[in-house]
Chains A and B, each alone.
Chain A
Amino acid sequence: MQNLDASFSALADPTRRAILARLATGEATVNELAEPFEMTQPAISQHLKVLEDAGLIVRRVEGTKRPRRLAKAGIEAMDQWLAMLRKALETNYDRLDEVLAGMEKHNQGETR
């Protein structure tokens, strides 16, 4: 359980969340991970270290490369994010239900 705090502070950064999202599509090298962010490689490496210490990603040794992939905790974190996105959308649509109910009342009012 001591990893939980580390996981949450690791997830608190948008770059780190985007890195996890990228890794959800498959293993990637540091260069590949750095590419979309306009960040220096050391800056990305620092983010990767935080994610690794939190147990969200793991590295593999392949010659001089150290490709990263999601760890089990990282996969669970991604699932949790999707659940959050789903929840935000659901909140919108629940509000839309009320708007639609209001439109119906309005229409009935007009025809009377």
Chain B
Amino acid sequence: MSKMTLQTEGDTHVIVTRRFTAPPEAVYRAHTEPQLIQKWLLGPEGWTMPVCINEAKAGGKFRYEWTNGKGGGFHITGEYLELKPYDRIVHVERMHLPDPTPDNHIETLFEADGAGTLMTMRMTLPDAKMRAAMLATGMEHGMEASYVRLEGML
């Protein structure tokens, strides 16, 4: 069973949806409270987020830093444009690798779905080329571990 969808839309969007059994309030909080974010927004096994600064208010900034404990790491910074607890978050973010990637504009909706939540994340990149680069970069992160596993399977 797959609860998540990831697809591209038009030339510049990426849409991710995911259903949760918890209500919107809990899912929203898990996206805005550092001590909760640090427990799950981690990527592949072995990665941790030692720095999680998050000013969850309109105009507030955030900074997330990840490390794999072996000298590898990167961070993202971003600004909140709009927050409507527990329905909607609009923010921009960029990865620093260490040069910043183009701004990714992200609207996240948390809608009640029975007793649970349907989360919809709509990312907008400046153009098709940047979206492709973002997907390629995002893949880096999941890639390392998967790549090794795949090689073992062949």
Q: List 5 A-B contacts (CB under 8 A).
A: A20-B136, A22-B133, A82-B135, A88-B139, A93-B4
Q: Which residues from chain B sit less than 8 Å from chain A, CB to CB?
A: 2-4, 6, 11, 16, 18, 20-22, 26-27, 29-30, 36, 39-45, 128-129, 131-133, 135-143, 146-147, 150-151, 154
Complex Cα–Cα for A20 and B132 (A): 9
Q: Kindly provide the distance from the CB of B9 to the nearest chain A CB, expressed in whole angstroms.
A: 14
Complex Cα–Cα for A87 and B143 (A): 10
Complex contacts, B150 vs chain A, CB 8 Å: 8
Instruction: Check A99 against B36 for contact (C-beta < 8 Å).
Output: yes
Instruction: Check A25 against B40 for contact (C-beta < 8 Å).
Output: no
Instruction: Check A100 against B22 for contact (C-beta < 8 Å).
Output: yes
- Specify the main secondary structure of chain B where it touches its partner: helix
Instruction: Check B147 against A91 for contact (C-beta < 8 Å).
Output: no
Instruction: Check A12 against B39 for contact (C-beta < 8 Å).
Output: no
Instruction: Check A104 against B22 for contact (C-beta < 8 Å).
Output: yes
Instruction: Check B139 against A22 for contact (C-beta < 8 Å).
Output: no
Complex Cα–Cα for A14 and B11 (A): 22
A90 at the interface (CB under 8 A from B): yes
- Of residues 79 to 112 in A, which have CB atoms within 8 Å of B's CB atoms? 81-82, 84-93, 95-101, 103-104
A42 at the interface (CB under 8 A from B): no
Complex Cα–Cα for A20 and B20 (A): 34
Complex contacts, B151 vs chain A, CB 8 Å: 8
Complex contacts, A22 vs chain B, CB 8 Å: 129, 132-133
8 Å CB contact of A103 from B6, B29, B42, B136: B29
Complex Cα–Cα for A90 and B2 (A): 9
Complex contacts, A98 vs chain B, CB 8 Å: 40
8 Å CB contact of A92 from B43, B128, B146: B43
Q: Kindly provide the distance from the CB of A55 to the nearest chain B CB, expressed in whole angstroms.
A: 16
Complex Cα–Cα for A87 and B16 (A): 12
Complex contacts, A34 vs chain B, CB 8 Å: none
